[in-house]
């Protein structure tokens, strides 16, 4: 499991694997405030942050991973994290935020208030009360792993603007090792917090018998130290200063655009036993992963011994042997892919950790048997990082490439098709590991995963509109086609609820329980009805028909039709009507005034295009005026919006296209996106006049 | 059996009856139930709630009164969704869940299928209370599947037994609530909201105990559907209020409980006496705050606003703390408190300043009762009353940014009891007219191409004003300006504003004002010979049509009163060829008036909307919806200007 968080929500994530005992540490009552820590001498807010709600003067996290051995108990690891924060609260909003203080119930805590005159008030913790289960814990206090369930909260007495809240908490667990490997959760965190920080410091004391992976990126400070400290520990630290706060910007990947660190600590009893983790040497900081290591991991993956792989690959092979018509490599690969998808969403087969690893191992075994040449691929999703910054096992996604056709095979989602590439790795570099027939690795090369085209992804809508004689509502007949990665947001609506009733061409004869089909159809219709209701004043939703589920490679698009009546697009103007025609293309992205300034790079899944073809039958007795308002054209280097409108007899026709050219734009080019997005928005505001002629 | 279920079984089995229940053999037509209640996943075919009053002798001069509530419910599954029946019963430090038993269709004990848990429960706005829930769930997966369960709850203090309702969040075919009352117990069963329900009553004597058993039965009870902006349940749902008036102990001596409001006040007052106030702690602060303050109004205002601004509302309602105020020095030192603590602190500060200040109990508008009913269910709030020159001023320091003399809608027109030594004063808070909340906007606009440009002034009073001030002052500093813009123009990308001025955002006593220039896109259509103008882009109440199938009145947060005036300059060379119709709809609870007038080269648009009593009753829905339809018709119409 990977933990991705930013500093302000950072509560140490603790886990225990099935065979590892976790015991809470003693209630330690360490007097963190008593020590004179020069890092916490800061009291003043820099002028540039005087108008902020609050400023972190200093925050410091000290992590200890200490292995020990005791007769009768064996090996154990004590994990301890001490977090201290000193935050200057500058306004009432900040006071409100900190006046109800939450903390993990079993952990040590100290809270004190430093008044502007320098006097110190220590908060009495005995008044802390348990937090009820029906209350959601504010993100700033929440345990990242979700493992910690019991929280307490405290009403902080006497807090006022310009006070400094100074608090620490200590989380300490001792884990008794009963397995050969124990893995502390991976952590990725942004150094930008919800408040700006004058100084933040991270310290690690890691036992020299443990494995420690760490990487800083995007301008985060490099780790320093590595010198042997007391009792077999090594000490590392870094200090970050004058860090601006995290910005809330749409289409941003914060681990790509903000200073970020990632780390993980692993215990291994025997370094000779293969591990799926990307480890260096015990006692040494590992900050990168070589292609040779990836090649080794690929090798270990495809020859892994595991019952799920055995069972699933045998099922597929059995199916293939009873379907002799599946003779070509391509046919076999397709059948294997869809059979995997079928069993994944009908029975559930995953007890091999990540689904991508099971998928690769299982299909590799089938391909080996069927003598289909393939390569093992691995990449880091763009949302997290790059191969260059790779340092943690779960950053990687594994997939396959068929050598002959070059087709990539990624672990399928419920609606994915043979050859669909996970959008998150498009445009990313990947390692390609060749496997010889003698099961020996050939090489690990870097290749670039191609980015799909704007035409491959997106939506096309055909909309036929009729106006009722009383001109108080319109009837809409709508056919939507969804292409490529854009299908992903429709998947859960198409196969609603019970995946067992999803249509399949290849299956294991698992007899799905079809009793829920009617219910599923009803709920699906309700769901699509709700989509229309989000965009329009819906009078009546009359029909939904799924024309194509998009679940086969020869019919890869989702296609459905619907009919409905909506109100609100016709407005009376004396004896004439104003028709809000632009609205028919649906709600468009609305870039608010506050969004014009952009700090982070602009990321999205893929290039994509959205087309609308609209026909409106104009009732007798009316002519259209102002049709030119439906014609627009804006094109920039980032994308385009264009529309054209014309009369075809009594039918008003217009078509629009909105295209995102890329899956990435520099922040300096944000304005180029805003231009065409604004044009699309403006189009939705375009109106025409239906002028009465009689 | 999974480990999980095993634990559940162990937990729920403790102290349970080992006897089977009767099998659920009565014929129930599940399809009829489905057709009657198509949205329900589960229905109770039978539900009985038996409430019994008991006593035990603690010592010669002490008797413990307690009440047991036994629920027996038979359930049937109405759909095939494969789900479970999930329900919960509340309890607190004064009550406990004694037992829970689940039975299968055959009437056999089936506790291994039940999952139960006891959890703390946090009510909205209460930081901590002793409220807990006993949650229970068990499978009811296929249409027609049946189960029954028994649950026993014990109230360890009779004054906390207040009311019982018929409605659940699932439908019930038949429900009987019965009260077994011994001759030594004086209880009044007050029937409320029974009108419109066919509730049959029965009285009999329990031959074993000699108790009188009063029973109430209601059939075909739909699920209590939560509707947005609904009145509190005490207004609408039939229920029985328990007024425990007195009991006689085994020595034959009668002891009063809450026989009258005086008894209720007596108990409240006894708690206040144990608050342990030390007002001297506050003296330096009060002296400092009042330095240079001359008038009574100025002094009272200063203290009232200080508590509003400096004491955060954080409520602890843990056991008796739900009724006894925290001491003034504790609230002062903590800088937080609940309504009682804040009222008590303000009272003590006012006393130090030489004013006649008193604690005051009341129920907010959420509660239908008044002090003619002696029960703790009658109130849920405390404020401070200051008596000055024979006039009573009600001060609620939990309402931040409310001005002296003003009152939040939720406590207007409410009966209150004001402390008066051993006696009490019953009063009623003022009920302000809609004008208290007046919002007025003035627009002067003209056309510039297909844009409307102009200047606008906005004036806010009452509830809208306090909400804006509250929102603004609790927003992070760096977001304040943006938040204000968001408030003014909402999410409408078509408007941009410039040159904004606003009044002092800390001043709660004056009218709140904004004025700014604005540019509005996409509300003008120019087709050459004609121009069409939407003069009112905000179109308040346009989407306020009420669902005619709604079961309960619609309750607004406060009385609403809007006056909007717009002057549109007619561009040179154009004449007005069409204006939308005027509108005048006046009803007892709401008014909509719209006029369009041309005078010279200007069109004067005036709109007035009021929701006079903040409630649209079910019987008014038809008139309301017709009015909204007419309003939409006018909003959809345009001003036509022709060359």
Q: Which residues of B270-294 are buried (b: 16+ CB within 10 A; e: fewer)?
A: eebeebebebeebeeebeebbeeee
- In chain B, what residues touch A592 (CB-CB under 8 Å)? 491, 493
The crossing angle, in degrees rounded to 10, of helices B283-290 and B339-352 is 70
Does an H or E element contain B243, and which? strand B239-248
Distance between B426 CA and the closest CA of chain A, angstroms: 35
Q: Which residues, at least 6 apart from A166, have a Cβ–Cβ distance to it below 8 Å?
A: A33, A40, A84, A85, A86, A87, A111, A112, A113, A114
Integer Cα distance of A377 and A406 in angstroms: 12
Distance between A74 CA and the closest CA of chain B, angstroms: 28
Closest CA relative to residue B519, chosen from B589, B443, B571: B443
Integer Cα distance of B340 and B383 in angstroms: 7
Distance between A52 CA and the closest CA of chain B, angstroms: 5
Residues 291-330 of A with CB under 8 A from B: none
Do A572 and B577 count as a contact with CB atoms less than 8 A apart? Answer: no
CB atoms under 10 Å from CB of B69, counted, come to: 20
Q: Does B640 touch chain A (CB under 8 A)?
A: yes
- In chain A, what residues touch B476 (CB-CB under 8 Å)? 52-53, 91, 93-94
Integer Cα distance of A175 and A21 in angstroms: 6
Res A305: pLDDT: 84
Distance between B54 CA and the closest CA of chain A, angstroms: 32
CB atoms under 10 Å from CB of B384, counted, come to: 27
Do A572 and B478 count as a contact with CB atoms less than 8 A apart? Answer: no
Integer Cα distance of B86 and B88 in angstroms: 7
Q: Does A157 touch chain B (CB under 8 A)?
A: yes
> Between A and B, how many residue pairs show a Cβ–Cβ distance under 8 A?
123
Integer Cα distance of B523 and B450 in angstroms: 8
- In chain A, what residues touch B80 (CB-CB under 8 Å)? 515-516, 519
- Contact between B507 and B466 (Cβ < 8 Å): no
Do A92 and B314 count as a contact with CB atoms less than 8 A apart? Answer: no
Average confidence (pLDDT) per 10 residues, chain B, 643 residues: 30 37 75 90 95 88 92 91 86 94 92 90 81 92 91 95 95 97 96 96 95 97 94 95 94 92 95 95 96 95 96 86 92 93 98 97 95 94 96 97 96 97 95 97 96 97 95 91 86 90 93 96 92 95 94 96 98 95 97 97 98 96 97 93 93
Name residues of chain A where pLDDT drops below 70. 1-31, 35, 106-107, 139-140, 142-149, 347-354, 436-442, 495-503, 507-519, 694
Query: What is the chain A residue with the closest CA to B528?
Result: A626
Do B637 and A572 count as a contact with CB atoms less than 8 A apart? Answer: yes
Output the six-digit token pair for B29: 């037509």
Query: Which residue matches tokens 């927003």?
Result: B475
Do B637 and A681 count as a contact with CB atoms less than 8 A apart? Answer: no
Q: Tens of pLDDT along A273-318?
A: 888 899 999 999 999 999 989 998 998 888 888 888 888 899 999 9
In chain A, what is the straight-line distance between the N-terminal and C-terminal CA atoms, in Å?
70
- Please return the burial class of A448, using the count of CB atoms within 10 Å of its CB with bins 0-12, 13-18 and 19+: exposed
Does an H or E element contain B358, and which? strand B356-362
**pTM across the whole model:** 0.86
Q: Does B52 touch chain A (CB under 8 A)?
A: no
- In chain A, what residues touch B491 (CB-CB under 8 Å)? 590, 592
- In chain A, what residues touch B333 (CB-CB under 8 Å)? 157-158
- In chain B, what residues touch A578 (CB-CB under 8 Å)? 525, 532, 638
Integer Cα distance of B288 and A120 in angstroms: 23
Res A441: pLDDT: 59
Does an H or E element contain A292, and which? helix A291-302
Integer Cα distance of A580 and B222 in angstroms: 42
In terms of phi and psi (left: phi > 0; alpha: psi -120 to 50; beta: otherwise), the region of B405 is: left
- Contact between A261 and A202 (Cβ < 8 Å): yes
Res A9: pLDDT: 29
CB atoms under 10 Å from CB of A29, counted, come to: 10
Res A24: pLDDT: 34
Integer Cα distance of B552 and B368 in angstroms: 14
Integer Cα distance of B89 and B197 in angstroms: 25
How do beta strands A186-190 and A2-6 pair?
A: parallel
Q: Which residues, at least 6 apart from B288, have a Cβ–Cβ distance to it below 8 Å?
A: none
Query: What is the chain B residue with the closest CA to A569?
Result: B636
Integer Cα distance of A203 and A235 in angstroms: 7
- Contact between B8 and B114 (Cβ < 8 Å): yes
Output the six-digit token pair for A318: 């059995």
- Contact between A576 and A691 (Cβ < 8 Å): yes
Distance between A462 CA and the closest CA of chain B, angstroms: 25
Point out the residue among B474, B525, B636 whose CB comes nearest to the CB of A572: B636
User: Residues, chain A, total?
Assistant: 694
Res A25: pLDDT: 33
Res A148: pLDDT: 58
- Contact between A586 and A476 (Cβ < 8 Å): no
Closest CA relative to residue B137, chosen from B2, B8, B1, B6: B8
Res A146: pLDDT: 47
Output the six-digit token pair for A533: 């209701």
- Contact between A253 and A259 (Cβ < 8 Å): no
Note the ipTM here: 0.81
Distance between A44 CA and the closest CA of chain B, angstroms: 18
User: Which of A87, A95, A134, A149 to mutate against chain B (most B CBs within 10 Å)?
Assistant: A134
Q: Which residues, at least 6 apart from A36, have a Cβ–Cβ distance to it below 8 Å?
A: none
Closest CA relative to residue B312, chosen from A462, A205, A550, A101: A101
Q: Tens of pLDDT along A439-486?
A: 565 678 999 999 999 999 999 999 999 999 889 899 999 999 999 999
Point out the residue among B334, B534, B543 whose CB comes nearest to the CB of A158: B334
Q: SS3 for B338?
A: coil
Output the six-digit token pair for A167: 């608090």
Residues 459-498 of B with CB under 8 A from A: 473-479, 482, 485, 491, 493-494, 496
Point out the residue among A96, A132, A537 whose CB comes nearest to the CB of B122: A132
- Contact between A566 and A474 (Cβ < 8 Å): yes
Q: Where are the beta strands (DSSP E) in A269-327?
A: 285-286
Residues 516-535 of A with CB under 8 A from B: 516, 519
Integer Cα distance of B570 and B550 in angstroms: 44
Res A505: pLDDT: 73
- In chain B, what residues touch A625 (CB-CB under 8 Å)? 527-528
Integer Cα distance of A114 and A589 in angstroms: 46
Query: What is the chain B residue with the closest CA to A570?
Result: B636
- In chain B, what residues touch A689 (CB-CB under 8 Å)? 525, 527, 530, 532
Integer Cα distance of B9 and B13 in angstroms: 6
Output the six-digit token pair for A526: 């309700």
Q: Does B577 touch chain A (CB under 8 A)?
A: yes
- Contact between B383 and B230 (Cβ < 8 Å): no
- Contact between B522 and B494 (Cβ < 8 Å): yes
User: Which of B133, B144, B527, B547 to mutate against chain A (most A CBs within 10 Å)?
Assistant: B527
Q: SS3 for A305?
A: coil
- In chain A, what residues touch B81 (CB-CB under 8 Å)? 519
Integer Cα distance of A80 and A61 in angstroms: 10
CB atoms under 10 Å from CB of B258, counted, come to: 22
Does an H or E element contain B382, and which? strand B381-388
Residues 431-470 of A with CB under 8 A from B: none
- Contact between B128 and B316 (Cβ < 8 Å): yes
Do B474 and A516 count as a contact with CB atoms less than 8 A apart? Answer: no
Distance between A483 CA and the closest CA of chain B, angstroms: 30
Q: Which residues, at least 6 apart from A224, have a Cβ–Cβ distance to it below 8 Å?
A: A236, A237, A238
Q: SS3 for A355?
A: helix
Sign, CA torsion A550/A556/A561/A567: positive
Distance between A55 CA and the closest CA of chain B, angstroms: 12
CB atoms under 10 Å from CB of B310, counted, come to: 15
In terms of phi and psi (left: phi > 0; alpha: psi -120 to 50; beta: otherwise), the region of A497 is: left
User: Residues, chain B, total?
Assistant: 643
Res A496: pLDDT: 58
Output the six-digit token pair for B598: 């041309």
In terms of phi and psi (left: phi > 0; alpha: psi -120 to 50; beta: otherwise), the region of B503 is: beta
Point out the residue among A53, A153, A578 whose CB comes nearest to the CB of B476: A53
């Amino acid at each position: 499991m990977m933990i991705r968080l930013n500093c302000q929500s950072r509560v140490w994530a603790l886990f225990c694997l099935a065979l590892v005992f976790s015991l809470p540490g003693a209630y330690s009552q360490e007097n963190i405030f008593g020590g004179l820590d020069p890092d916490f001498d800061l009291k003043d807010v820099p002028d540039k942050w005087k108008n902020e709600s609050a400023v972190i003067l200093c925050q410091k996290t000290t992590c200890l991973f200490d292995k020990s051995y005791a007769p009768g108990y064996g090996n154990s690891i004590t994990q301890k994290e001490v977090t201290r924060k000193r935050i200057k609260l500058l306004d009432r909003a900040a006071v409100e935020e900190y006046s109800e203080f939450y903390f993990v119930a079993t952990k040590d805590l100290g809270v004190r208030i430093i008044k502007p005159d320098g006097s110190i008030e220590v908060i009495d913790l005995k008044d802390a009360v348990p937090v009820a289960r029906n209350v959601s814990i504010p993100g700033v206090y929440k345990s990242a792993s979700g493992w910690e369930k019991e929280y307490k909260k405290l009403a902080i007495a006497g807090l006022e603007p310009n006070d400094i809240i100074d608090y620490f908490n200590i989380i300490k667990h001792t884990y008794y090792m009963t397995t050969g490997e124990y893995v502390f959760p991976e952590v990725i965190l942004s150094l930008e917090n919800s408040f700006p920080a004058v100084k933040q410091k991270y310290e690690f004391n890691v036992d020299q018998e443990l494995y420690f992976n760490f990487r800083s990126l995007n301008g985060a400070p490099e780790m320093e130290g590595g010198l042997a400290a007391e009792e077999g520990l090594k000490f590392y630290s870094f200090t970050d200063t004058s860090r601006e706060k995290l910005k809330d910007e749409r289409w941003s990947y914060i681990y790509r655009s903000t200073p970020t660190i990632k780390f993980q600590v692993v215990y291994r009893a025997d370094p000779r036993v293969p591990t799926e983790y990307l480890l260096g040497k015990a006692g040494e900081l590992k900050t990168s992963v070589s292609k040779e290591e990836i090649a080794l991991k690929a090798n270990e993956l495809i020859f892994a011994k595991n019952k799920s792989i055995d069972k699933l690959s045998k099922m597929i092979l059995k199916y293939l042997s009873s379907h002799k018509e599946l003779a070509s490599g391509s046919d076999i690969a397709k059948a294997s892919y869809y059979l995997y998808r079928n069993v994944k969403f009908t029975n559930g087969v995953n007890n091999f950790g990540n689904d991508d690893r099971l998928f690769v191992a299982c299909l590799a075994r089938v391909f080996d048997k069927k003598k289909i040449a393939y390569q093992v691929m691995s990449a880091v999703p763009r949302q997290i990082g790059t191969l260059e910054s790779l340092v943690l096992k779960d950053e990687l996604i594994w997939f396959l490439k068929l050598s002959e056709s070059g087709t990539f095979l990624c672990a399928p989602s419920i609606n994915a098709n043979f050859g669909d590439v996970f959008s998150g790795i498009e445009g990313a570099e990947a390692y390609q590991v060749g496997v010889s027939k003698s099961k020996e690795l050939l090489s690990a090369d870097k290749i670039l995963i191609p980015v799909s085209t704007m035409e491959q992804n997106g939506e096309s809508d055909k909309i036929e509109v009729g106006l009722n004689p009383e001109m108080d509502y319109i009837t809409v007949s709508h056919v939507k086609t969804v292409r490529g990665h854009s299908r992903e947001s429709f998947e859960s609506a198409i196969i609603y609820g019970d995946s067992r009733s999803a249509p399949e061409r290849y299956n294991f004869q698992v007899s799905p329980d079809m009793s829920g089909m009617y219910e599923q159809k009803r709920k699906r219709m309700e769901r699509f009805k709700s989509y229309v209701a989000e965009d329009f004043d819906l009078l009546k939703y009359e029909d939904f028909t799924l024309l194509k589920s998009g679940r086969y490679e020869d019919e890869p698009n989702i296609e459905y039709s619907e009919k409905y009546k909506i109100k609100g697009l016709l407005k009376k103007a004396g004896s004439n009507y104003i028709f809000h025609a632009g609205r028919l293309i649906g709600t468009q992205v609305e870039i608010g005034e506050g969004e014009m300034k952009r700090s982070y790079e602009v990321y999205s899944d893929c290039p994509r295009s959205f087309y609308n073809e609209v026909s409106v039958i104009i009732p007798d007795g009316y002519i259209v005026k102002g049709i030119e308002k439906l014609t627009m054209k804006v094109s920039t280097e980032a994308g385009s919006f264009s529309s054209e409108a014309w009369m075809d007899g009594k039918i008003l026709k217009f078509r629009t296209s909105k295209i995102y050219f890329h899956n990435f734009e520099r922040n300096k080019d944000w304005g180029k996106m805003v231009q065409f997005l604004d044009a699309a928005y403006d189009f939705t505001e375009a109106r025409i006049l239906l002028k009465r002629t009689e | 059996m999974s480990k999980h279920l095993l634990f559940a079984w162990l937990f729920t089995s403790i102290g349970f009856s080992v006897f089977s229940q009767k099998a659920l053999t009565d014929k129930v037509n599940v399809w009829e139930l489905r057709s009657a209640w198509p949205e329900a996943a589960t229905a109770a075919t039978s539900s009985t709630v038996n409430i019994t009053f008991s006593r035990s002798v603690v010592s010669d001069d002490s008797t413990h009164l307690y009440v047991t509530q036994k629920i027996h419910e038979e359930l049937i599954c109405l759909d095939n969704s494969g789900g479970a029946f999930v329900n919960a019963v509340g309890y607190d430090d004064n009550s406990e869940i004694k037992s829970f038993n689940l039975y299968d269709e055959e009437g056999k004990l089936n506790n291994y299928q039940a999952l139960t848990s006891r959890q703390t429960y946090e009510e909205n706005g209460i930081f901590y209370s002793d409220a807990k829930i006993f949650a229970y769930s068990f499978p009811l997966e296929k249409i027609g599947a049946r189960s029954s369960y028994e649950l026993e709850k014990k109230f360890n203090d009779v004054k906390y037994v207040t009311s019982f309702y018929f409605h659940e969040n699932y439908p019930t075919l038949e429900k009987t609530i019965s009260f077994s009352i011994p001759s030594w117990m004086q209880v009044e069963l007050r029937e409320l909201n029974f009108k419109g329900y066919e509730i049959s009553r029965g009285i009999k004597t329990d031959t074993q105990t000699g108790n009188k058993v009063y029973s109430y039965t209601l059939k075909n009870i739909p699920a209590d559907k939560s509707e947005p902006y609904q009145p509190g349940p005490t207004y609408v749902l039939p229920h029985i209020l328990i007024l425990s008036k007195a009991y006689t102990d085994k020595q034959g001596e009668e002891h009063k409980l809450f026989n009258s409001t005086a008894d209720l006040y007596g108990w409240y007052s006894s708690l206040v006496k144990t608050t342990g106030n030390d007002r001297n702690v506050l003296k330096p602060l009060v002296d400092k705050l009042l330095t240079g303050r001359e008038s009574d109004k100025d002094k009272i205002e200063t203290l009232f606003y200080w508590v509003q601004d400096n004491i955060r509302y954080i409520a602890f309602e843990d056991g008796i703390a739900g009724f006894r105020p925290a001491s003034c020095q504790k609230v002062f030192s903590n800088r937080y408190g609940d309504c009682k603590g804040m009222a008590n602190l303000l009272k003590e500060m006012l006393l130090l300043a030489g004013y006649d200040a008193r604690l005051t109990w009341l129920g907010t508008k959420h509660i239908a009762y008044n002090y003619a009913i002696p029960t703790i269910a009658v109130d849920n709030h405390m404020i401070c009353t200051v008596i000055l020159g024979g006039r009573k001023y009600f001060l609620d320091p939990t309402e931040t940014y409310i001005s002296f003399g003003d009152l939040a809608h939720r406590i207007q027109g409410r009966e209150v009891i004001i402390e008066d030594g051993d006696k009490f004063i019953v009063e009623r808070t003022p009920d302000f007219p809609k004008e208290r909340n007046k919002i007025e906007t003035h627009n002067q606009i003209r056309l510039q191409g297909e844009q409307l440009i102009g200047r606008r002034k906005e004036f806010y009073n009452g509830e809208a004003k306090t909400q804006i001030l509250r929102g603004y002052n609790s927003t992070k500093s760096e977001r304040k300006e943006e938040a204000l813009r968001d408030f003014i123009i909402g999410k409408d990308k078509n408007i941009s504003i410039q040159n904004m001025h606003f009044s002092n955002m800390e001043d709660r006593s004056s009218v709140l004002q904004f004025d700014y220039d604005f540019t509005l896109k996409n509300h003008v259509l120019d087709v050459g010979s004609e121009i069409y103008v939407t003069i009112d882009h905000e179109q308040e109440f346009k989407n306020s049509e009420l669902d005619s199938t709604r079961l309960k009145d619609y309750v607004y947060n406060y009385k609403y009163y809007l006056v909007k005036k717009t002057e549109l300059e007619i561009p040179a060379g154009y004449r007005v060829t069409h204006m939308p119709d005027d509108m005048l709809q006046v009803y007892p609870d709401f008014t909509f008036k719209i006029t369009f007038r041309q005078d010279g080269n200007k069109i004067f648009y005036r709109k007035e909307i009021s929701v006079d009593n903040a409630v649209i009753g079910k019987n008014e829905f038809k008139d309301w919806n017709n009015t909204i339809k007419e309003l939409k018709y006018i909003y959809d119409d345009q001003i036509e200007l022709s060359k």
